[in-house]
Amino acid sequence: MSVVLRVEGVAKYFGGIKALDGVTLDIHENELLAIIGPNGAGKTTLFNVITGLRKPDRGRVLYMGRDITRAPPYKRAQMGIARAFQIPRLIYNASVMDNAVLSCLFGGKMDLNNSKKRVLEVLKLVGLEKKANELAANLTSPEKKLLEFARAVAMKPRVLLLDEIVAGMPPAEVDNIMNLVRKIAIGEKITVVAMVEHVIRAVKYADRAVFLHQGRILVEGSPSEVLNNKLVKEVYLGEIIE
């Protein structure tokens, strides 16, 4: 599998705290990668470095072989790197349709008419087509997360970072969302990187998992290999509820 995105020797410090300590990670085209680890492991900082919200103090980020370490977030979005946040960043006084259309236009790949067509396709995929004209503020919490996901997918990204998309959801809903993520990732040929902190059930849907602890990658492999690793069990799994 070809490497679509590479984080190479990345370090990030906040005062005397090492949020990332020489992280090197290859993300392969069309895989679903889960990044797991306890609170404070560096997962959010890693996502912020990949999307350009934070600049690394050392190391670089390569996308399709191109060094994008200093590229601003909007440039990365236009290149094909999208992100769905744990707490949806919606325009609550705008409609579901308008929220997603704005993301398409921000991505810079479609005009207004094509953006609307694309959004209708994606809303149908996630089951929100009947809520297209509803204000985002009127959606339920799960629907808001689906809209956040749909906004990112609508941009036609090559790489999509999911920030705790199933946090706080019951097991059945976790299964529904992760099955939807896999279905859309395969159908749209999107590489998905999912950050997971507490909902280990979601990791089992990944092709590969990486365990991040104290700013370093300690274990990587198949989900079963990582979840059954002695170190992962000792420092991580004992603290969470599946």
Per-residue pLDDT of the chain (242 residues; tens, 9 = 90+): 799 999 999 999 999 899 999 999 999 999 999 999 998 999 999 999 999 999 999 999 999 999 999 999 999 999 999 999 988 999 999 999 999 999 988 877 788 999 999 999 999 999 999 999 999 999 999 999 999 999 999 999 999 999 988 888 888 989 999 999 999 999 999 999 999 877 889 999 999 999 999 999 999 999 999 999 999 998 887 655 44
Residue environment code for 77-89, b if the CB has 16+ CB neighbours within 10 A, otherwise e: bebbbbbbbbebe
Vertex 51 angle, CA 50 and 57, to 5°: 55
Contacts of 15 (CB under 8 A, 6+ apart): none
Domain ranges of the chain: 90-155
Q: Where are the alpha helices (DSSP H) in the chain?
A: 43-51, 73-79, 96-107, 112-126, 141-154, 171-188, 223-227, 230-235
